[in-house]
Amino acid sequence: MAKKERAASVEVRLDKQGRLVIPAKLRRAVNLRPGDRLIARAEGERIVLERREEVLARVKQRFAAIPSDVDLAGELIAERRAEARLEE
């Protein structure tokens, strides 16, 4: 098994269109390939990039304990409608 390359901190520059290049050493360190889909989010003053599949897996795990007969969307709609009636 190949030893995983350690990613060093590197400086990157944002271009006028808001793009940046993830250096090859960092891409190799986290096994990023052309075409990989990433989700970007802000955490305070930081930008975090994660593979889309990892984000989806984390969300599915978070809601896995909810019974399949529970309709969260339906409950949310019912709550919003009840709030709207109170405001009238």
The pLDDT tens digits for 22-57 are: 999 899 888 999 999 999 999 999 999 999 999 999
Whether 22 maps to a domain, the answer reads: no
Q: Report pLDDT for 8.
A: 67
CA distances from 50 to 3, 10, 39, 58, 76 (A): 22, 18, 5, 11, 28
Q: Band of the pLDDT at 17, cuts 50, 70, 90?
A: very high
The boundaries of the domain holding residue 61 are: 38-87
Whether 74 maps to a domain, the answer reads: yes
Q: Which of 2-11, 25-34, 41-50, 66-75 has the lowest mean pLDDT?
A: 2-11
Whether 76 maps to a domain, the answer reads: yes
User: Cα separation of 22 and 64, whole Å?
Assistant: 34
Q: How many domains does the chain have?
A: 1
Whether 16 maps to a domain, the answer reads: no
